[in-house]
């Protein structure tokens, strides 16, 4: 049911290399059917928060030292990334990670590896991805490494969709892209949210665009949430305007 809580992050602390405290008690919730934005400048801890959810901290010598991550009422802090994918949660990493030497279509198909519901269902989802990203269909036989930055970002999102996720953790989709492409990608995210019911937790430095497309926002500064609210209210907040939207 729309509005029920999917993901809950409760007061987590994250430490890198046993010493550096990067998240200092972060709490947030992601409701079903929403686009929730996690905002903040470079180094605020957005990527760390997403990795704490998808259990990708270990490879960077990071660990959650306090608090919990709960998905649909179940603590998921000890699940592997692929077990989490089976639960419906997938992360699209910053920097559009595609396999450069595979074609776009091969990249998309790698996203379906955890599925057990048969070829027909996977083929239908490939069609769905191509419907939302017609550019990917045009480029489906191209090696991903030779496609544009925008196409690689689309490919990374498309690959995540191939796991039939309930919730997508999307890290900095605007990074390095021209404004028009950022607009195009966010419009598709909004469509996926409205028409396919995919929920998003979106980490973004581009506050302006994120608050136009998200329903709710959290602002992270130096590892702490300093403000949160409905996106429309944050857009009108004088502090947000001054410090994050560049107008006062």
Write out the residues near ligand ATP by the rule CB under 6 A: 16-17, 20, 22, 40, 42-48, 60, 62, 94, 172, 205
Question: Collapsing DSSP states into helix, strand and coil, what is residue 185?
Answer: helix
- Residue 38: Cβ within 10 Å count: 29
Q: Is 51 or 159 the residue whose CB approaches ligand ATP more closely?
A: 51
Q: Which is nearer to ligand ATP, 103 or 174 (CB)?
A: 174
Q: Are 164 and 128 in contact (CB under 8 A)?
A: no
The answer to whether 221 touches 44, Cβ cutoff 8 Å, is yes
Helix (H) or strand (E) holding 114: none
| CB nearer to ligand ATP: pick between 63 and 183 | 63
- Tell me how far, at minimum, the Cβ of 13 lies from ligand ATP, in Å: 12
Distance of closest approach, residue 107 Cβ to ligand ATP, in angstroms: 23
Closest to ligand ATP by CB, 38 vs 234, is: 38
**Minimal distance, residue 79 CB to ligand ATP, in Å:** 21
The residue among 125 and 172 lying less far from ligand ATP, judged by its C-beta, is: 172
Q: What is the DSSP letter of 59?
A: G
Nearest approach, Cβ of residue 123 and ligand ATP (Å): 35
Are 144 and 135 within 8 A, CB to CB? no
Torsion of CA 62, 55, 244, 189, to 10 degrees: 160
- Closest to ligand ATP by CB, 79 vs 169, is 169
| CA–CA gap between residue 24 and residue 186 (Å, rounded) | 30
Look at residues 177, 174, 184 and name the one whose alpha carbon lies nearest to residue 208: 174
Between CA 145 and CA 160 the distance in angstroms is 18
Tell me the closest approach of the beta carbon of residue 39 to ligand ATP, in angstroms: 9
Least Cβ distance, residue 12 to ligand ATP (angstroms): 12
Residue with smaller CB distance to ligand ATP, 40 or 165: 40
Question: Is 54 within 8 Å of 65 (Cβ atoms)?
Answer: no
**Shortest gap between Cβ of 44 and ligand ATP (angstroms)?**
4
76-99 b/e (C-beta count within 10 Å ≥ 16 → b): beebeeeebbeebbbbbbbebbbe
């Amino acid at each position: 049911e729309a509005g029920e809580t999917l993901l809950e992050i409760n007061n987590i602390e994250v430490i890198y290399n046993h010493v550096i405290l990067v998240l200092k008690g972060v709490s947030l919730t992601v409701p079903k059917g929403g686009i929730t934005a996690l905002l903040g400048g470079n180094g605020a801890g957005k990527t760390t928060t997403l990795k704490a959810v998808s259990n990708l901290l270990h490879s960077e010598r990071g660990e959650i030292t306090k608090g919990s991550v709960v998905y649909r009422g179940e603590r998921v802090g000890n699940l592997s990334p692929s077990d989490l994918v089976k639960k419906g949660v997938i992360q699209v990493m910053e920097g559009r990670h595609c396999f450069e030497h595979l074609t776009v279509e091969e990249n998309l198909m790698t996203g379906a590896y955890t599925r057990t519901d048969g070829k027909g269902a996977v083929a239908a989802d490939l069609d769905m991805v191509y419907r939302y990203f017609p550019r990917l269909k045009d480029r489906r036989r191209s090696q991903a490494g030779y496609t544009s930055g925008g196409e690689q970002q689309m490919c990374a999102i498309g690959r995540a969709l191939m796991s039939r996720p309930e919730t997508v953790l999307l890290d900095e989709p605007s990074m390095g892209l021209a404004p028009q492409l950022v607009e195009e990608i966010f419009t598709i995210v909004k469509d996926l949210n409205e028409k396919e019911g995919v929920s998003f937790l979106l980490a973004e430095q581009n506050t302006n665009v994120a608050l136009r497309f998200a329903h709710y926002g959290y602002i992270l500064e130096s590892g702490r949430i300093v403000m949160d609210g409905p996106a429309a209210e944050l857009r009108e907040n004088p502090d947000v305007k001054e410090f994050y939207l560049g107008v006062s």
